[in-house]
Structure 1
Amino acid sequence: MKKIFILAIGLFIATAANAQDGIKFGVKGGLNIANIIKDDGNNDFDTESKLGFNAGLTVEIPLIAGLAFTPEVLYAQKGYKQTSSFGEFTRTTSFIDVPILASFRLGSSFNIVAGPQVSFLLSTKNKFENDFGSVEQTIDEESDRFKKSLVGGVVGFRYDINPKFDIHGRYALDFQKNNEDGSTNTPEFRNQVFSVGVGVKF
């Protein structure tokens, strides 16, 4: 996993280093509203959204008028909540997301962004709470219970307040399931995340 993360960072830097004039580096951060889409398997339960955050680096590389290549490397929290008569269960999954996005400018400030995304699993934490207390569990990232990388897609918008600051929103969905053999402990699902945030360019 560490090697994959280093490779993702390397590709990000290499892309930026070979870009044409007009490149803009940036940082971004925001709020994630995460949940899951259940697939086949042992999935007889209802889920609720959970809050998390995202933060990372961005590059904007102009291609032609109105079109830019905008790859990112982000730390992102995902997961879901489940409430029952026994208490509340929360699963938090931490990923390195690498969206490979195109940005289409509509007007002077509004942009549509879309493209594929590869997500690399860092850790999974479970928490169970009820009136008697709480219990937490961290699952080893090297365990075979979960896929270590997932391919998905992103679509959203960015509004440029000025050349340096923006606000943005997007929806991301995994195209692959977290595992292929759902069980009581590890049901099959795909992550979905709505996010809003701010960005700063240099």
Structure 2
Amino acid sequence: MKKVLVLAIGVMLAGAANAQTFGIKGGANFANIIKTGDEEFNTEIKTGFNAGIFADIPIVSSLSFAPELMFSQKGYKTSGTSLLFGPNEYSVTTNFIDLPILAKINATNKFSIVVGPQVSFLTSTTEKFTQGSDSYKNTIREENDNLRKSLFGGVGGINIGLTDALSLQGRYAIDFQKNNGNGTSETPLYKNQVFQASLAIKL
């Protein structure tokens, strides 16, 4: 996985070196999962953040190549109530390095559509359980051994120009591959999905 990640970063940096536009971006993630099995295990949207760099390499007047290199928090959460201890919440945060390889279609000077494949590299998984005033947080390491460290997916979204340098970006990303979990509530078998809202600044 490390070799693939290094190669992916190299492709992104090579593209950025030839880009007409280069910048940074960051914002909020609204993540959840699409499960397989254990239908009684219900999950909710979990918030996180995204941050990274982007490039814009023109191909023709209304089309450009727009790769990105992003840190992205995904995962899910569940909640319930115990008769003895009251409400509780369990959340799983999965940290990824995402490499979206996007085609950017410029409808107007201030509006564009992006779509393309994405490769995601898992860096860490953290679980947190809270019940009343008690909570614990654990970074899962050994349990990650059977999970996929790289996932192939897709991204679609829009860019809205606010100024010449600043834009608002919305994305929906979904994994095409499952995480290789065992299908239980402890390690559900699922695909990641996430809605992103970001501000991008051209440098």
Q: CA deviation at 1:186?
A: 1.1
Equivalent residue, structure 2, for 1:195: 196
CA 1:141–1:8: 2 relative to 1, 3 Å: farther
Equivalent residue, structure 1, for 2:85: none
Equivalent residue, structure 2, for 1:90: 91
Which of 26, 29, 38 aligns to 1:32? It is: 29
Distance 1:145 1:194 in 2: 26
User: In the alignment, residue 148 of structure 1 is paired with which amino acid?
Assistant: K
CA 1:160–1:141: 2 relative to 1, 3 Å: farther
CA 1:163–1:102: 2 relative to 1, 3 Å: same
Q: CA deviation at 1:131?
A: 1.6
Matched residues, number: 198
CA 1:142–1:83: 2 relative to 1, 3 Å: closer
Which of 61, 66, 73 aligns to 2:62? It is: 66
Distance 1:156 1:197 in 2: 11
Deviates more, 1:75-84 or 1:5-14: 5-14
Q: CA deviation at 1:140?
A: 1.3
String of CA shifts for 1:125-176, please: whole Å, max 9, x gaps. Answer: 0000002501111111783231001111111100122331111111111111
- Residues 1:4 and 2:4 aligned together: yes
CA 1:122–1:43: 2 relative to 1, 3 Å: farther
Distance 1:104 1:158 in 2: 10
String of CA shifts for 1:82-121, please: whole Å, max 9, x gaps. Answer: 0122421000000000000011011221101110000000
| RMSD, aligned CA | 1.7
Distance 2:133 2:161 in 1: 48
Distance 1:132 1:43 in 2: 30
Q: Which residues of structure 1 form unaligned runs of 5+?
A: none
Distance 2:142 2:100 in 1: 21
SS in 2 for 1:9: helix
Distance 2:144 2:90 in 1: 21
Note if contact 2:181-2:190 (Cα within 8 Å) is conserved in structure 1: no
Distance 2:42 2:181 in 1: 20
Distance 1:63 1:82 in 2: 45
**Alignment TM-score, normalising by the size of structure 2:** 0.91
**Alignment TM-score, normalising by the size of structure 1:** 0.91
Q: CA deviation at 1:178?
A: 0.8
SS in 2 for 1:124: strand
